[in-house]
């Protein structure tokens, strides 16, 4: 799997959402290898979007399409400044639920030491932790040099808040402590109206 993470300040949220709808309606069928998009706009007007493809080659071919270039230029008109774009082939998917059913999405982004160790710990914790948190549908974590972006899809914000208020069980506390010690510069982006797209699911 290959991911493109895009972050920007939105100047016109209605136009931003309409551009996403238009892409899904007019271009998604022609985007070879495209799997899904998870993102939205925070209450503070920050847009975060994770776009997933089957491979980097297919993602590059999509970016090279003239129609895609035209759409991107149109999208820029409702953003402030130059968007940040991160490409990565280091992508981990956790959970088997349908991410398109999320009622709330939280992105967590940060720096991390010893990325290999961190990936191992996340995998270990997810295998044990996911069954304890029915509010978590699944997540996608993208790793890039020195950092990561994790998009966690929840059934609802209310359920997510209840779940996060619970302490870690003893069997996971040690692993989480090790993970915390390796992370820094954490940022959280809460999406109460997530924009979710796949071939079978159009953005609301």
- Tell me the pLDDT of the chain averaged across its residues: 94
Helix%, strand%, coil% for the chain, nearest 5: 40, 40, 25
Q: What is the mean pLDDT of residues 99-120?
A: 95
The residues, any chain, with a CB within 8 Å of residue 116's CB and separated by 6 or more, are none
pLDDT tens per residue, range 59-73: 999 999 999 999 999
pLDDT in tens, 146-201: 999 999 999 999 999 999 998 877 778 888 888 999 999 999 999 999 999 999 99
Q: Which residues, including other chains, have CB under 8 Å from residue 51's CB and lie 6 or more apart? A: 3, 4, 5, 6, 34, 36, 37, 59
Q: Give the tens place of pLDDT for each residue, 18-40.
A: 999 999 999 999 999 999 999 99
Nearest Cα to Cα of residue 127 among 167, 95, 98, 154: 95
% the chain with pLDDT above 70: 100
pLDDT for 127: 81
CA gap 190, 194 in Å, rounded? 9
Q: What is residue 96's DSSP assignment?
A: S
Is the pLDDT score of 204 beyond 80?
no
What pLDDT score was predicted for residue 125? Answer: 84
Q: What is the mean pLDDT of residues 93-99?
A: 94
pLDDT of 90 reads 97
Query: Looking at residue 130, what is its pLDDT?
Result: 84
At residue 132, does pLDDT exceed 90?
no
- How sure is the predictor about 124, in pLDDT bands with cuts at 50, 70 and 90? confident
Task: Please give the residue that has the higher pLDDT: either 173 or 139.
Answer: 139
Which helix or strand (DSSP H or E) is residue 180 part of? Answer: helix 170-182
């Amino acid at each position: 799997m290959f991911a493109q993470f895009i972050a920007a300040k939105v100047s016109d949220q209605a136009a931003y959402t309409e551009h996403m709808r238009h892409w899904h309606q007019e271009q998604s069928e022609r985007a070879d290898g495209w799997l899904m998009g998870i993102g939205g706009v925070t209450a503070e007007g920050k847009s975060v979007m994770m776009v997933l493809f089957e491979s980097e080659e297919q993602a590059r071919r999509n970016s090279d399409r003239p129609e895609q270039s035209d759409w991107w230029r149109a999208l820029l008109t409702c953003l402030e400044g130059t968007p940040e774009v991160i490409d990565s082939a280091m992508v981990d998917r956790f959970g088997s639920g349908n991410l398109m059913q999320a009622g709330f999405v939280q992105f967590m982004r940060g720096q991390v030491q010893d990325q290999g160790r961190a990936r191992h710990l996340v995998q270990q914790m997810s295998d044990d932790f996911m069954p304890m948190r029915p509010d978590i549908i699944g997540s996608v974590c993208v790793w890039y040099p020195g950092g990561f972006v994790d998009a966690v899809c929840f059934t609802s914000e209310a359920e997510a808040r209840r779940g996060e208020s619970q302490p870690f069980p003893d069997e996971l506390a040690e692993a989480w402590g090790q993970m915390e010690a390796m992370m820094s510069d954490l940022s959280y982006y809460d999406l109460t109206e997530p924009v979710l797209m796949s071939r079978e699911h159009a953005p609301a």
